Structure 1
Amino acid sequence: MFDGLGTPTDKKVRVAFPEAGNHVIACDLRSKDWKNVYNQTVAFIDEVILEKTKQYSFDLQGHRGARGLSPENTIQAFEKALDLGVNTLELDVVISKDNKVVVSHEPWLNEEVTLDAKGRKITKKDALAFNIYKNKYKKIKSYDVGSIGNPKFLEQKKEKAYKPLLSELITFAEAKNDQIRYNVEIKSTPKDEKNGFQPSVAEFSDLVIEQLKNAKLSLEKITVQSFDPRVLGYIHKTYPAFTLAFLTYKNDFETNMKMLSFKPKIYSPYFILLNKEEVKRIQSKKMKVIPWTVNKKNDIVNLLKMGVDGIITDYPNIAIPLRK
């Protein structure tokens, strides 16, 4: 446990603790309390070391694959997450003009990361004008969403990539790891529906569920999540066997749950909304707590100490050492 740096005949003994960064404690042998001080110090250092190496059981979800390391929502990002060893692939889906379920966070293009078919950077105006729901998948796939890299994620690898289909992703992931789970977010909002960026809630949900059924996956491997209570309500009523997660970004648990007429199995809030009491309150309702999007180790550790059931992160590599 420690290395003695003195002898019993010295007036002072210095003790180094290699496991705790070689911190040195000086104990004065002339003091009657030196043994108590020393024993307390040893106990403290033991606690520090234990905390540094403590591991937890939790569902590690790679946000948009592994957005911090590879282009988001692309085959490359999901491959990275799989290679790192996540439990679950978290992803977003939208619908194309030809009713394909496309893996994408927005129903338009992101000018920060997108090149057109000729390799030219697109403008913000062009990006917002490109309505995925008004374009066929063949054209959507022609855009490169990886070569530029995301300026918000400096560790993200720059590599040519495209927006894949949900079916393509599942086929790829199953071939690589048939134990992997999926957390599929239906990117629906009343505003996007009104402005023609998505089909109706029923059609949107039906198209996604159809693809998940066609993949012939065990339902235990699938979670469908959404911020839109209408989506969750429709799927709960129409496809009751599917596990649902309620995504939230503001307000407390009780306030948010008033938007639903049923209790989903998972509650997924923005992580800063949680504290230990809130986690216990949610879990007392027999619901799991899986916060998003947690990218700093200290925040991940604090949430695990609170007892959350899972972590959604852009950096699975940070969370892997914390998992049992």
Structure 2
Amino acid sequence: MRTPLLLLLWAFAPHLFGQTNVYMNLMQAAQTRTSAHGASVHAAISDGNDAILSGKVPVEDLHRGGHKVIGGISDDPEQLHDLVRAGIDGYITDRPDILIDVLQKEISLAKTAEEKRRLKDFDVEAHRGGRGLRPENTLPSFENGLDLGVTTLEMDTGVSADNVAIVWHDEYFDSKMCRRVDGRPYDANDHFWIRDKSAAEIQQQLICDKTPFSTTQQSDVSLSPVSVAFARKEHLANPYSPVTIDQIFRFVRFYASYYRSGPGREDRLAKERAAEGERVRFDLETKLIPDFLPSEDGKLERTKNHTAEPKAFVQALCPAILRNHMQERSEVQSFDFRTLKLVEEQFPFLPTYYLTSNPKLLQFQTEVGMGL
């Protein structure tokens, strides 16, 4: 969309799109797109704690329309109890172990069979694999999420120079979390941009095993035997080497076989872990933002994206889901609604999750019609 058109839409947005509930509008528009392509999947809303607890997100109305509501991101047990009781369908958390404990307590307090079913079906999403426990978006973080029995592994994706979907949150590999394989200095002045390197270059040069997030993060590889075995099989430099989406899908299958018939088959939790690897879901985020956003004074300003375009994100991610036969276990989420519209039009059988917790992004994109 060209800048002049964006400016025009931004100026006249209140008159063009009205003041009806933005969440319902987003979901209705998404449903129209997928239905037009013969699919019956329903999009979902993923928002922050305040919007859910205040009632700003119309949870019951969205449910009546067949849309899920996912919350995030808190690790405070008291707040998690309140959020679960608000009727949401799932929650993205850095500490899935805490959320699982909260759910067990809520199930013990449930007074009806219907409420117990809802709580047992609650979607526990390990944010970046559960970054409160392991370095984020790494094989060991996802292994730990699987060990805990989460419903969904949540992760971020970028696009490499050779158009491969890479699992990482930022546009570049931050020195606070990563180091060079060869031991050369890698500091805050180094920006190893995903867009500028091939997937092979990224994996050959970086290890992301630092633990800056919290004192509960652990990177001892002895805690991650499946990651160690898989890294060896894939010829990765380290279990904490950056990975691709294809490798994530292979890893989860490897995890299941590791406990079903491999070295972990005698583990006391082998049966449960094998089953976990065979059923866990994937919440895959396209990590980019719109090219323009309003400044503090309301003027549109170009953002400093150093990522691929929306089309490249969709073409790198969605075919990977298909070729690994994971379309029944995956959804695509984003703060950038352009990618979600492309998914709904080109891969309408994949559920889309609209990340709406950034007020500026939500207001701008809906008022200029990006998600409508």
* TM tier relative to shorter chain: 0.5 to 0.7
1:174–1:256 CA distance, 2 compared to 1 (3 A): farther
Aligned length: 209
How far residue 158 of structure 1 moved from its aligned partner, in angstroms, is 2.3
* Residue in structure 1 matching 2:211, options 129, 149, 169: 149
CA RMSD of aligned residues (A): 2.8
* Residue in structure 2 matching 1:54, options 109, 115, 118: 109
| TM-score normalised according to structure 1 size | 0.58
Which range moves more in the overlay, 97-106 or 194-203?
194-203
User: Aligned with 1:72: secondary structure?
Assistant: coil
Give the structure 1 partner of residue 290 of structure 2: 190
Distance (whole Å) between structure 2 residues aligned to residue 212 and residue 137 of structure 1: 17
Render the CA deviation track for 1:150-203: whole Å, top value 9, x for unaligned.
Answer: 2x2111112461111110111111332111110000112234997563222112
* Residue in structure 1 matching 2:201, options 117, 122, 139: 139
Which 5+ residue runs of structure 1 have no aligned equivalent?
Answer: 1-49, 264-324
Tell me, yes or no, if the aligned pair for 2:335 and 2:361 is still in contact at 8 Å: no
Tell me, yes or no, if the aligned pair for 1:96 and 1:137 is still in contact at 8 Å: yes
* Residue in structure 2 matching 1:220, options 310, 328, 337: 328
Tell me, yes or no, if the aligned pair for 1:93 and 1:185 is still in contact at 8 Å: yes
Distance (whole Å) between structure 1 residues aligned to residue 286 and residue 106 of structure 2: 38
* Residue in structure 1 matching 2:130, options 38, 55, 66: 66
Distance (whole Å) between structure 1 residues aligned to residue 355 and residue 147 of structure 2: 27
Distance (whole Å) between structure 1 residues aligned to residue 202 and residue 153 of structure 2: 22
1:170–1:254 CA distance, 2 compared to 1 (3 A): closer
1:120–1:248 CA distance, 2 compared to 1 (3 A): farther
User: Aligned with 1:232: secondary structure?
Assistant: helix
User: Aligned with 1:76: secondary structure?
Assistant: helix
Distance (whole Å) between structure 2 residues aligned to residue 149 and residue 139 of structure 1: 23
Tell me, yes or no, if the aligned pair for 2:177 and 2:211 is still in contact at 8 Å: yes
Give the structure 2 partner of residue 82 of structure 1: 146
Identity of aligned residues (%): 25
User: Aligned with 1:258: secondary structure?
Assistant: helix
Which range moves more in the overlay, 199-208 or 115-124?
115-124
1:254–1:66 CA distance, 2 compared to 1 (3 A): closer
Question: Which residue identity is paired with 2:149?
Answer: G
How far residue 242 of structure 1 moved from its aligned partner, in angstroms, is 1.1
User: Aligned with 1:162: secondary structure?
Assistant: coil
Tell me, yes or no, if the aligned pair for 2:337 and 2:370 is still in contact at 8 Å: no
Tell me, yes or no, if the aligned pair for 1:64 and 1:89 is still in contact at 8 Å: yes
How far residue 240 of structure 1 moved from its aligned partner, in angstroms, is 1.4
1:209–1:154 CA distance, 2 compared to 1 (3 A): same
Tell me, yes or no, if the aligned pair for 1:182 and 1:223 is still in contact at 8 Å: yes
Tell me, yes or no, if the aligned pair for 1:248 and 1:256 is still in contact at 8 Å: no
Question: Which residue identity is paired with 2:219?
Answer: K
How far residue 106 of structure 1 moved from its aligned partner, in angstroms, is 1.1
User: Aligned with 2:279: secondary structure?
Assistant: coil
1:190–1:68 CA distance, 2 compared to 1 (3 A): same
| TM-score normalised according to structure 2 size | 0.51
Q: Which has the higher helix share?
A: 2
1:201 aligns with 2:310: yes
* Residue in structure 1 matching 2:339, options 225, 231, 237: 231
Distance (whole Å) between structure 2 residues aligned to residue 252 and residue 123 of structure 1: 31
Aligned ranges 1:101-120 → 2 under 5 Å: 101-120=165-184
Tell me, yes or no, if the aligned pair for 1:133 and 1:196 is still in contact at 8 Å: no
User: Aligned with 1:62: secondary structure?
Assistant: strand
User: Aligned with 2:342: secondary structure?
Assistant: helix
Which 5+ residue runs of structure 2 have no aligned equivalent?
Answer: 1-104, 111-118, 221-237, 257-276, 293-301
Question: Which residue identity is paired with 2:196?
Answer: K
Which is higher, the Rg of structure 1 or of structure 2? 1
Give the structure 1 partner of residue 247 of structure 2: 168
Question: Which residue identity is paired with 1:207?
Answer: A
Tell me, yes or no, if the aligned pair for 1:105 and 1:187 is still in contact at 8 Å: yes
Tell me, yes or no, if the aligned pair for 1:224 and 1:242 is still in contact at 8 Å: yes
Distance (whole Å) between structure 2 residues aligned to residue 191 and residue 232 of structure 1: 15
